[in-house]
């Protein structure tokens, strides 16, 4: 049973980034996405809001593990601690040569792997069967293969731009919410409202980095957004959010990332007396972090911005937005929860072959069922651009691959408009305005916004 602490400190204020409403883009939505991590997506795998069905798998009982703690407090006010080795004494080293996980929504064989989607890479070893859920844009989830829904034997990894308001954790959790500093999990737990029980945070070491650990349970509390999105815990610019819900128990680690946004790891279970927390700690005991890097997500104000993809692109934003730049071959700009703009550099067909011409791209899209209608062309930074209205009726597999080694793919939206530029030196570039739910009005709005944005695009010199 968790114990309520009585001491209270004065609430802190946090500045929320410029209005940034986000949702999962066409690169992910057709394949399904973790509901907490991608608002507006059709989820097909468990972690936060959507149930799935997976083949039954019998897991071996995991060994008992011990959480290592340190005597050095991480943040104020000072958490309780016990003696522990310094981070440099960690017995686990980052396995830079471990196989990189680019899969999503699939079973994971036992073994060691590397994950790069959080900005700071890490390696881990799974000694029991696991399933991968979302694996993109600062959000990575693994579960027990028998997991049947949100918080049912899962481990969520994410970066934090802010925590929820601890005085009102069940309020609507979005970009307009006055939250709590992401690096003050101790203050958040101390101020948490009645109905949410948080243990006293403890300083610890995870993967060789200082961290804070605590347990949280949600009691009988009014849920503003329903019982599957009840208490907001943390978000990363709204594109990725994590909720805590009645009936589940959570073990949370917040890992320091120096000057960058902290990293949160949330293990959830619907059976607090079961073995999942032991399994989760067994997995986390094998984690080792590489060099600390920034979150793939960032907020941006209106004005010129540089994108790192396609050897350098500059565009001018008409308003504040969320930027997602997980790699040099894919990027995303989000202005609202119903649409986005995708940038796909040198797309590949589903066999992993690079597509070299616009005609070949159209052939590939139509071959997988995409409806393609060519409309009036335009000019982008002095280069001809062919423009197509596209539509994908019904669920489908990936239409394209970002690169031959990336199994996450790119998915055609229900409605969209795409600009295709054949750069003489850099290859093919797709810029796609996407309406996630096929709303014609939303599609017209994002297409008009993208038309204006494309008119500002310039190809910058490689750095």
Which domains are delineated in the chain? Answer: 29-289 (no CATH), 301-459 (3.40.1000)
Residues above pLDDT 90, as percent of the chain: 63
- Cα–Cα distance measured from residue 449 to residue 302, given in angstroms and rounded to the nearest whole number: 13
pLDDT, mean of residues 392-403: 87
pLDDT number for residue 62: 38
Beta bridge partners of 410: 400
Collapse the DSSP code of 459 into the 3-class scheme (helix H, G, I; strand E, B; otherwise coil) and give the result.
strand
Residue-wise DSSP of 196-223: EEEPPPEEEEETTEEEEEEEEEE-S---
The answer to whether 368 touches 397, Cβ cutoff 8 Å, is: yes
Query: How do residues 355-373 score in pLDDT, each as one tens digit?
Result: 999 999 999 999 999 999 9
Query: How do residues 253-262 score in pLDDT, each as one tens digit?
Result: 999 999 999 9
pLDDT at residue 387 is higher than 50: yes
- Cα–Cα distance measured from residue 130 to residue 279, given in angstroms and rounded to the nearest whole number: 10
Query: How do residues 191-200 score in pLDDT, each as one tens digit?
Result: 999 999 999 9
pLDDT, mean of residues 270-298: 95
pLDDT number for residue 176: 65
What are the start-end ranges of the E strands in 127-248?
130-136, 139-143, 154-159, 162-163, 196-198, 202-206, 209-218, 231-236, 240-244
The answer to whether 29 touches 411, Cβ cutoff 8 Å, is: yes
pLDDT at residue 283 is higher than 60: yes
pLDDT at residue 80 is higher than 50: no
pLDDT, mean of residues 68-92: 44
The DSSP 8-state label assigned to residue 292 in this structure reads -
Q: Global pTM?
A: 0.75
pLDDT number for residue 276: 96
- Cα–Cα distance measured from residue 60 to residue 185, given in angstroms and rounded to the nearest whole number: 34
Selection from 425, 333, 434 nearest residue 392 by Cα: 434
pLDDT, mean of residues 352-356: 94
pLDDT at residue 130 is higher than 70: yes
Higher pLDDT: 31 or 318? It is 318
pLDDT number for residue 239: 83
The answer to whether 162 touches 182, Cβ cutoff 8 Å, is: yes
Place of tokens 């309406």: 435
């Amino acid at each position: 049973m968790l114990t309520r602490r009585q001491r209270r400190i004065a609430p802190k204020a946090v500045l929320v980034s410029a209005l940034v409403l986000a949702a999962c883009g066409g690169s992910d939505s057709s394949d399904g996405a973790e509901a907490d991590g991608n608002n507006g997506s059709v989820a097909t795998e468990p972690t936060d809001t959507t149930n799935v069905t997976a083949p039954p798998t019998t897991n071996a009982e995991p060994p008992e593990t011990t959480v290592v703690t340190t005597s050095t407090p991480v943040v104020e006010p000072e958490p309780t601690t016990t003696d522990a080795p310094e981070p440099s004494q960690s017995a686990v080293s980052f396995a830079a040569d471990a196989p990189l996980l680019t899969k999503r929504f699939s079973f994971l064989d036992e073994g060691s792997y590397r994950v790069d989607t959080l900005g700071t890479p890490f390696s881990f070893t799974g000694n029991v069967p696991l399933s991968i859920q979302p694996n993109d844009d600062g959000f990575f989830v693994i579960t027990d293969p028998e997991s049947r829904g949100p918080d049912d034997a899962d481990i969520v990894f994410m970066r934090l731009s802010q925590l929820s308001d601890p005085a009102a954790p069940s309020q609507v959790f979005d970009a307009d919410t006055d939250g709590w500093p992401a690096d003050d999990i101790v203050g958040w737990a101390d101020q948490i409202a009645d109905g949410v029980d948080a243990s006293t945070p403890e300083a610890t070491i995870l993967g060789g980095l200082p961290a804070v650990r605590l347990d949280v349970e949600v009691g009988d509390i009014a849920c503003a957004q329903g019982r599957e999105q009840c208490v907001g815990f943390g978000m990363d610019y709204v594109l990725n959010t994590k909720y805590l819900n009645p009936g589940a128990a959570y073990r949370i680690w917040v890992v320091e990332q120096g000057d960058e946004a902290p990293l949160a790891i949330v293990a959830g279970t619907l059976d607090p007396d079961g073995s999942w927390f032991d399994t989760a700690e067994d997995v986390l005991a094998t984690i080792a972090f590489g060099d600390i890097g920034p979150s793939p997500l960032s907020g941006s104000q209106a004005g010129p911005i540089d994108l790192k993809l396609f050897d350098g692109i500059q565009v001018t934003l008409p308003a504040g937005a969320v930027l997602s730049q997980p790699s040099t071959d894919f990027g995303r700009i989000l202005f609202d929860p119903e649409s986005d703009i995708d940038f796909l550099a040198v797309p590949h067909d589903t066999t992993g072959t690079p597509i070299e011409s616009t005609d070949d791209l159209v052939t590939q899209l139509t071959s997988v069922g995409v409806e393609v209608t060519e409309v009036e062309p335009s000019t982008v930074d002095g280069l001809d651009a062919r423009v197509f209205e596209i539509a994908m009726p019904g669920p489908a597999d990936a239409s394209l691959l970002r690169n031959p080694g990336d199994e996450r793919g790119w998915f055609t939206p229900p409605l969209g408009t795409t600009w295709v530029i054949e750069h003489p030196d850099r290859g093919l570039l797709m810029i796609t305005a996407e309406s996630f739910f096929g709303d014609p009005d939303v599609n017209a709005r994002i297409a008009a916004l993208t038309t204006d944005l494309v008119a500002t695009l310039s190809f910058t010199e490689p750095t």
